[in-house]
Amino acid sequence: GKTEIFRAMEHHLLRTTKSNIGIIHLEEDNGTTLRSLAGYELGVNAVVPNATVSESDILSAIDKLGGNSGRISIHSSFDIEDENAIIDNVRFLVSAAGCDFIFLDHISWLATGQDDEDERKKLDRISQRLKLLAKELRFWLGEISHVNDAGKTRGSRNITKVANTVIHRVS
């Protein structure tokens, strides 16, 4: 799925660059995020319950990817209803943690629980604010957005309008 594409990109950046990365995966806990990244490094699925990977293997793989040197920063808050907190966390990941790349999976969660009109307005505003922040602080921001049955970005078409690059998954 889309998250696995992000995970492959995160792993690739950690293996081939010295850049710090910020990870905001709103649909999963930090343990799943770390186990999945370690799984890429180890070449196994480390998330399934019957995984044949020890905790020390997981920790070693994360350390090898730069986890203990501060190269991996994971957003660990569940304040997804507070757009200012998300923007502030992205700013922190870039300014304080030195992240050159931020992975946001997925932006649609930031407007969960809203009616259609409010969801669109909120996602329009958030996507615009994130775009301006990326320009201001000069970092790469990747976002996953779900699509509706018509194949259009769900919630707000502004997300794709302000993006520099859009990749659509074809079913």
CB neighbour list of residue 81: distance below 8 Å, 6 or more residues apart: 112, 113
For residue 34, pLDDT over 70 is answered with yes
CA 119 to chain centre: 20
Measured CA to CA, the distance from residue 93 to residue 71 in angstroms comes to 11
- Write the pLDDT tens digit of every residue in 35-62: 999 999 999 988 888 888 899 999 999 9
Overall size of the chain counted in residues: 171
- Helix axis angle for 30-42 and 55-64, nearest 10°, is 80
For residue 135, pLDDT over 90 is answered with yes
- Write the pLDDT tens digit of every residue in 103-126: 988 766 666 654 455 777 877 888
What is the band of 170 on the pLDDT scale with cuts at 50, 70, 90?
A: low
Measured CA to CA, the distance from residue 2 to residue 68 in angstroms comes to 27
* The pLDDT value given to residue 94: 96
One-letter amino acid at 112 equals: T
Residues 39, 54 contacting (CB under 8 angstroms): no
Q: How does 27-58 read in b/e, with b if 16+ C-beta sit within 10 Å? A: eeeeeebbbbbbbbbbeeebbeeeeebeeebb
Q: Which H/E stretch holds residue 120?
A: helix 116-137
For residue 95, pLDDT over 90 is answered with yes
